Amino acid sequence: MMRLDRFLCETGQGTRSEVKQLIRKGFVTVNGLQETAADRKLEEEADVVAVRGEVCLFQKFHYYLLHKPAGVITATRDQSQQTVVDLLAGEKVRNLFPVGRLDKDAEGLLLITDDGELAHKLLSPKKHVDKTYFVRTKLPLCQQDAKCLEAGVDIGDETLTLPARVEQIADNEIKLIIQEGRFHQVKRMLEAVGNEVIYLKRLSMGPLALPKDLEKGSFRPLNREELLKLRQENLL
């Protein structure tokens, strides 16, 4: 059960005081009947709430795609540095966190959510979810290096990296597809073959791809198609 005013906040109708005004002014109906009590208790997945006749869909969890820019840290909160969750501050959704790390100097797709189960499924190496990175390297990458990266390399951990895929784009540019997310993994993989990453961007994670029209620093909620794809892959 949930209070009407909280339900309206959680479905994005405004701040607590804004939604209280909507209720007071008689713009809100519950199951077709005008409701003026902000503390009215609701069965959030059964009662039909509408504002000015528009039904408010209750979403248990929230999902956003962020185009992370360089210079922002992948954390929820920090005393001195801007975080990826700060970029969504206007959303008024609580408990948001980023799914998987991108280094401060890395860019690209970052899923921000309050759904811990989805995060676990996307990140667990056992689930074999592909993460695709665009990598620009300091030195040209030869075929031998690409083969090593694909087979698994020693990055100083207990085990070699799991098999990966390399798609050569140019002498110094590759797409690297991995299914793990170890600390600084891509950078350490390139170091393991005597090279260095000079630019790193995540292009996709499982069925989610960085939208071409999503500017650096911008975000948007996952759309229906993206939610459907996650569902089809048993991730949601």
Q: Rule CB under 6 A: which residues touch ligand URA? A: 101-103, 106, 184-187, 200
Q: How far is the CB of 116 from ligand URA (least distance, A)?
A: 21
Distance from C-alpha of 121 to C-alpha of 175, rounded to nearest angstrom: 23
Catalytic pick from 103, 105, 145, 157?
Answer: 103
Q: How far is the CB of 159 from ligand URA (least distance, A)?
A: 17
Output the CA–CA distances (angstroms, integers) from residue 196 to 141, 172, 184, 192, 204, in the order listed: 10, 10, 12, 9, 22
Q: Specify the pairing of strand 54-55 against strand 49-51.
A: antiparallel
At 217, give phi and psi (nearest 5°).
Answer: 90, -10
103 catalytic residue (yes or no): yes
Among residues 113 and 185, whose Cβ is nearest to ligand URA? 185
Among residues 23 and 200, whose Cβ is nearest to ligand URA? 200
Among residues 62 and 101, whose Cβ is nearest to ligand URA? 101
Q: How far is the CB of 151 from ligand URA (least distance, A)?
A: 18
Output the CA–CA distances (angstroms, integers) from residue 21 to 26, 31, 51, 54, in the order listed: 9, 19, 12, 17
Residues noted as catalytic: 103
